Structure 1
């Protein structure tokens, strides 16, 4: 019996060229999955694919705009036709948004940007993959949110609403897809400490907050207020997010659906 968690699984990762998507793609491939990575920047996808192939993994790339619903559906249909099924899907697409601006100074456009962006991409990708999952082969849709879904702090109105929306979407979708043998599980990491160094948009996202504290972004993530507000006094790493995603996507977590795995290092205790 193979010791690989995802042997024989077909996994598609949207936003695969990003820091979190890329880290998860590497672990999925290491654990035996055939990985399909999709994103808008072909150069990033190609670089990741070279790394995965060099490590012995199986990977295919596709330049896909996640907001182009027909293109996403065509891509999913192509994967299912080539591989026979889609067993795992993850939306790791990032949407730059505002953090730090209170209601009095916040525009409607800035408020709606993460809500529309994150939820639109989650709807489009979930709708595209669901018809090709489940039934005789268990399917797993993984989603990503943030502790902002639970926090009551100022300056994160759009961010918090989008995070809460992603978690609500995951719960309700789990109920809809359970009869088709498809699980939906959310992962709620905090800011990921090594993501900026891996090219994450969070380097730009947190610049203003870090500057206000007289720190660099990396200093803020390694020992600043975000880290100190967790029970473990540190933030999660890309490796921890990726390893948890692989477990949740595996048959070993086959009874888990409609819930959120809190990987915030104890920022919130559910």
Structure 2
């Protein structure tokens, strides 16, 4: 298994993407530490992982609280011996479908501030402990919004672009200490919205933008996260993995 005996922290593990990645990490042998604000929903993911023969531990932590994130990271190291993988799938509040010239400043700034704060806190907490052990992989989550211009995304595209900038800058700081930093850039994923069909007419403008004629699947995001965190991606850092189904072409 590609992540055998690794300790992986997944922030936002009760969400669609976080849960899918957590399950994939566990299937590949990692002990997954599920982090979020609501213990009940985290326990549901943990029960599924444990029921499938995996290992999972739940912690209720606010990723915007730097001291709490640091304390939890220390617990992972104390209990597991190392912190090998960090993945952040925490949602941000954002307002879209309003022209920038008509948008309230607060609505524009909210996703930028929330995303920057959460990713900075979780990534640097992991980086401190990983550089001390001289190994580890930090996987961040952006979206195609970082490179798009046609859709009315408010401050969300700037938030995503900021995550990708953080990926590059942090990778440049910690690479010589054996730590890799990689970012996933998926397109909108219909499975993250309950009841939304992949061929829903409202998705057609997004699908039309792609070269594959479809949008990414959760399983594909999870598989990419496993690869990014594994030794198979050992030569990769400061990189943005394009999971846009060809909506953006590098």
- Equivalent residue, structure 1, for 2:238: 258
1:217–1:232 Cα change, 3 Å? closer
Q: CA-to-partner distance for each residue in 1:56-100, whole Å, 9 max, x for gaps?
A: 000000000111111111111111111111000011000120111
In 1, the alpha carbon distance for the partners of 2:103 and 2:199 equals 26
SS of the equivalent of 1:269 reads: coil
Alignment of 1:87-106 (within 5 A): 87-106=84-103
2:110 paired residue among 102, 113, 117: 113
Instruction: Give SS of 2:56's match.
Output: strand
> Where in structure 2 are the equivalents of 1:219-230 lying within 5 Å?
219-220=200-201, 224-230=204-210
Distance 1:57 1:16 in 2: 15
1:15 paired to 2:12: yes
Matched position secondary structure for 1:265: coil
Check if 1:152 corresponds to 2:149.
yes
Backbone CA RMSD of aligned residues? 1.6
From 166, 170, 185, the equivalent of 2:167 is 170
- 1:159 deviation in Å? 1.0
Closer/same/farther in 2, CA of residues 218 and 232 from structure 1, 3 Å limit: closer
4+ residue segments displaced more than 3 Å? 134-137
Q: Distance in 1 between matches of 2:125 and 2:156?
A: 25
**Counterpart in the other structure of 2:50:** 53
Measure, in 2, the Cα distance between the counterparts of 1:144 and 1:151.
Answer: 16
Please report how far the alpha carbon of residue 197 of structure 1 lies from its aligned counterpart in structure 2 after TM superposition. 1.9
Gaps of 5+ in 1: 204-215
What are the within-5 Å matches in structure 2 for residues 1-270 of structure 1? Answer: 4-134=1-131, 138-197=135-194, 219-220=200-201, 224-270=204-250
Q: Go from structure 1 to structure 2 and tell me whether the alpha carbon gap of 1:9 and 1:236 turns closer, same or farther (over 3 Å shift).
A: same
Q: TM-score, normalised by structure 2?
A: 0.96
The aligned residue for residue 211 of structure 1 is: none
Q: Which runs of 5+ in 2 are unaligned?
A: none
Q: Displacement of 1:104 after TM fit?
A: 2.3
Q: Could you tell me whether the CA contact under 8 Å between 2:25 and 2:32 is conserved in 1?
A: yes
| TM-score normalized by the length of structure 1 | 0.89
CA distance in 1, matches of 2:113, 2:119: 10
